[in-house]
Amino acid sequence: MVSDLRPRNSERHFSNDVALRAEHRASYASGEMTDCERLLLLTEFNGILIGSLDYERSAARLMELLVPALGDCCALEIEGSAAASPLALVHAAPQYRRRVDELCARNPSDPFALATDAPAGSGIARPLAARGRRFGTITLVRFRDRTPYSLQEISFAENLIDQLALAVDNARIYQDAQQAIQVREELLAIVSHDLRNPLSVIAGTVTNMLRALPSDAPSRQRAQMDRLNRATKIMDGLVHLLLDQVAIQTGRFSLTMRRVEPSALLNDITEMFQAIAAERRIRLDVRIDSDQDLAFVGDRDRLAQVLSNLVGNAMKFTPTNGCVTLECASVRESVVFSITDTGCGIAEEHLGRIFDRHWHVSRKNNGGTGLGLFIARGIVEAHGGSISAKSIVDGGTTITFVVPRNSTQP
């Protein structure tokens, strides 16, 4: 039983983790460990270390492994971090538990007093340190009726403790990073949400001002109002991107499911980009199997957002007189959409990262937030589907996404 000495409502909390492979423990108390026992202990020790990033739970299990394998009592203290509270644990062999509990009760702020107050025969005290920083201490005590530690046992114990220190430090770094990400996402959500109201006011005001302009208003004045209107729409789009990013990463992304007709959806998208395509002399082609019933269940607005982003990217990187092709087909119980361009293509080493957040392919005319493809992947995966890309440098890119015919949110 591992005693948790941290104050929790003025009571001590006891962990009830069971010891691993208890049948081997009795042999440890009889004398120095054999090579086979050391190997077994090392295997179990490493298995616990790599099994979880919850180092508080792992520490309790490791102490039950170290006692009685390497001592009759073990005390562990780890300093707090940005994402974790301080940790102070004591574990003793059953025959010494009452004595150790009495010592801990007399010195609750110093669990290591047992190393000097208890009837110790020998002990090992070693700091927990990694990457040049000390953040805790562990003490192993062997009482007088046990053989004192040999140099081989001390070296073995120190090796285990150093492995524990590195694992704890890795876990603390991970927890601190996760907390920093959570704080950032919460801040983004708050800021993005609070920006929506004033942006709506600005957008409404600009729209009303444009409508109120007299027909003979100076062209310069109208152009200025148009620029302000476009900038407001861009800002509103960025706010929605940030909100979508936070929703995807926090698992709060939701869909409104209904029947979707792919032919109507693709026609809406091509109409949206027709003017831009004509201006840049890019051909927009739509290929859809009219002989098949391609209707499926999905969030039409969100899928339109995916297609709009993919077609927009394809247009951005397709040269004059190029072509962007939108295709849709049914494959077994899924509907497959693909967008192919005749642009500059993407190098193979970059293809695996284009759906990562805030990542840009180094292509000319690049711009944007780096969130579009990340959000597109989140929307497709929320449908239970998948998205992928194929590309040839100077030969164009095809992005394909697949959604189930009867899609439900995972």
Q: Tell me the pTM.
A: 0.53
List average pLDDT for each run of 10 residues in the chain, which is 410 residues long: 44 32 46 79 87 82 85 84 69 78 65 53 86 89 78 90 90 83 72 70 81 82 82 76 74 85 92 89 90 87 91 91 94 92 89 79 55 88 93 92 76
pLDDT at 1: 52
195 three-state secondary structure: helix
Domain ranges of the chain: 2-174, 179-249, 258-404
**Total length of the chain:** 410
Query: Two tokens at 143?
Result: 């009482």
Q: Which CATH number fits domain 258-404: 3.30.565.10, 3.90.1150.10, 3.40.50.10300, 3.30.420.40?
A: 3.30.565.10
What is the tens place of the pLDDT at every residue in 212-250?
A: 888 888 888 888 888 888 877 777 777 777 777 777 777
> Within the chain, what is the greatest distance between any pair of CA atoms?
104
List, in order, residues 6 or more apart from 193 with CB less than 8 Å away: 243
Angle, helices 372-382 vs 219-249, to 10°: value is 50
Cα angle value 166/168/171 (rounded, 5°): 110
Residue 15's nearest CA partner among 90, 68, 66 is 90
Residue 209's nearest CA partner among 195, 224, 196 is 224
Cα angle value 311/270/387 (rounded, 5°): 35
pLDDT at 298: 92
Residue 391's nearest CA partner among 281, 313, 306, 275 is 313
Q: Which helix (H) or strand (E) holds 381?
A: helix 372-382
Q: Does domain 2-174 have CATH number 3.30.450.40?
A: yes
Q: Confirm if 287 and 326 have CB atoms less than 8 A apart.
A: yes
| Calpha distance 355→116 (Å, rounded) | 58
Q: Which helix (H) or strand (E) holds 33?
A: none
**Which residue spans within 289-374 are E strands per DSSP?**
296-298, 323-331, 334-341
What is the tens place of the pLDDT at every residue in 286-322?
A: 999 777 788 999 999 889 989 988 998 899 999 999 9
Q: Confirm if 47 and 107 have CB atoms less than 8 A apart.
A: no
